[in-house]
């Protein structure tokens, strides 16, 4: 697998109205997109999504939803095959969404990881 770097971080929050000022005003992130239940922020070369989870069951809690890593599109199929060969559980089968190919799977502790071929710019074009 030829991973080219960290892609994005999605964090569950209970209330965007309370959480967003911290990320914008305290941490100095830049607001790129605001949806009904999510926001996309830039922070240097990193991008972070905050997703409001009021509808989720209480025991799911807040915190990190998943961690995504950038992978070149030409390496995506090989990586998916490797995951399947190792019996890695998939959360979401490979799908083209948000401007790139995505596959989500879990590590042995249940942490959701993603391989994603897209960029923040491509994702924003798809949200408009």
Buried b (16+ CB within 10 A) or exposed e, 55-77: eeeeeeeeeebbebbbbeeebbe
- DSSP annotation of 42 reads E
In the annotation, is 114 catalytic?
yes
Q: Which of 45, 52, 114, 121 is catalytic?
A: 114
Half-sphere exposure of 78 toward its Cβ, with a 13 Å CA cutoff?
Answer: 8
Question: Residue with structure tokens 């807040």?
Answer: 62
Rg from Cα positions in the chain: 15
| CA atoms of 32 and 10, how far apart (whole Å) | 14
- Known catalytic residues are 114
């Amino acid at each position: 697998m030829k991973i080219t770097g960290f892609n994005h971080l999605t964090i569950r929050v209970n209330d965007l109205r309370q959480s967003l000022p911290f990320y914008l005003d305290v941490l100095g992130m830049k607001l790129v997109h605001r949806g009904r239940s999510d926001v996309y922020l830039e922070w240097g070369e990193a991008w972070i999504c905050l997703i409001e989870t009021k509808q989720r069951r209480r025991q799911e809690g807040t915190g990190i939803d998943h961690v995504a890593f950038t992978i070149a599109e030409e390496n995506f199929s090989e990586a998916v095959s490797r995951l399947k060969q190792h019996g890695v559980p998939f959360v979401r089968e490979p799908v083209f969404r948000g401007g790139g190919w995505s596959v989500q799977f879990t590590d042995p502790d249940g942490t959701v990881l993603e391989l994603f071929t897209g960029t923040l710019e491509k994702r924003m074009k798809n949200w408009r």
